[in-house]
Structure 1
């Protein structure tokens, strides 16, 4: 279970402040895949990073029962001078998982070929995202935070990404941000819409998608 209690977060935007969370109180169950919907700039990715602990809220509390991934698809924490393999080895040690198993999984899944043994600074943004996705999915978390990762790569890689997400969701929960509403309808069994720092929960994903589409018009 991921619990947000009275969480508030905002940041300067020009002469005003952008409110991401306005005294939010919500629970994300471990047995649900929750779509996080909202306009561009609503703060969905920032909210995921707060849940992951990469950003601290200005006030309130975030409690997590079990383990939680970093935002899948976010590759900002890699060390640019280390190779992909070396970064994955470091991640394995931090999370206490078998190093060889994780390296083998990520090398095969990311399809980076020889680049896997080259410094991260030589990677394109898409290559970094594929490495981050592979590293995340190679570790079994109780909660996955998924941020637009299935937009990376060609159609074959996206199908493979969706398949591994489905496999992980058999035993884990997730909070998912994606512009692919078809993917959300297929994977998610609950939804929440973020608007002006407020979060509205929907048990009916199709209804949430309809409301989201109306908001975008």
Structure 2
């Protein structure tokens, strides 16, 4: 379970401040996959970063009774001069997992061959995505934060990524951001819609998608705050 209590976040922009979270209070239930919907710039990725603890809210708090992943597939924490294998071992130690088991899992999943032992700075974008996703799936969390991760890589890798996600989500919760509504319906059972800094939870993903799609056409829900 993850609870947001009066969570607010805004950014400085040329015209003043842009509010992406305005006094949001809601609860993401445990062992449930929740879709997070909203137009580009609505604050979905910002909210994920706050949930992951890599960005601070302006006010309010986030409460959780379990472990939360970093955004799945995030490669920004890898040291460029360390090899892929060294990065995996280092992060495994930070999270207190069996580093040998984690190394074997990631090496098998990412299929980087000899590049697994080459410096991370030499990796292509696709190789970085494979390593990052393998690491994300190699450590089990109570809640996974998923932001368009299955859009990376070739078709075969996307299929393997989706299959692995389904295995992990059979035992864990997730908060999912994706522009693919079929994938949203496949992974999620309920949804949160973000509009103008406000957010509302819906009991079914189909209802959340319907509200989101109406909002995209300009038919805003009555709970949506004013833009700004």
Q: Same-fold call, TM > 0.5?
A: yes
- C-alpha separation in 1, matches of 2:89 and 2:31: 29
- 1:16 is displaced (CA, Å) by 2.3
State the alpha-carbon separation in 2 of the partners of residues 14 and 116 from structure 1.
43
Shift of the alpha carbon at 1:114?
1.9
**Are 2:26 and 2:200, in contact at CA under 8 Å, matched by a contact in 1?**
no
Q: Distance in 2 between matches of 1:47 and 1:130?
A: 24
1:183 and 2:183 aligned: yes
Give the aligned length: 217
- 2:223 is aligned to none
1:157 lines up with 2:157 in the alignment: yes
Q: Is the 8 A contact 2:109 2:134 kept in 1?
A: yes
Counterpart position of 1:172: 172
Name 2:21's counterpart in structure 1.
21
Report the secondary structure of 1:193's partner residue: strand
In structure 2, how many angstroms separate the alpha carbons of the residues matched to 1:19 and 1:113? 45
In structure 1, runs of 5+ residues without a counterpart are none
**Distance in 2 between residues matched to 1:106 and 1:14, nearest whole Å:** 43
**Secondary structure at 1:194 match in 2:** strand
CA distance in 1, matches of 2:129, 2:157: 12
Instruction: Give the TM-score normalised by the residue count of structure 2.
Output: 0.91
- Correspondence for 2:36: 36
Correspondence for 1:123: 123
Superposition map of 1:139-150 within 5 A? 139-150=139-150
What are the ranges of 5 or more consecutive residues in structure 2 without an aligned counterpart? Answer: 218-228
Per the TM alignment, residue 111 of structure 1 is displaced from its structure 2 partner at its CA by 2.1
Determine the structure 1 residue equivalent to 2:76: 76
SS at match of 1:107: helix
1:193 corresponding residue in structure 2:
193
What is the CA RMSD across the aligned residues, in angstroms?
Answer: 1.2
Runs of 4+ in 1 over 4 A off after TM superposition: none
The answer to which of 65-74 and 108-117 deviates more is 108-117
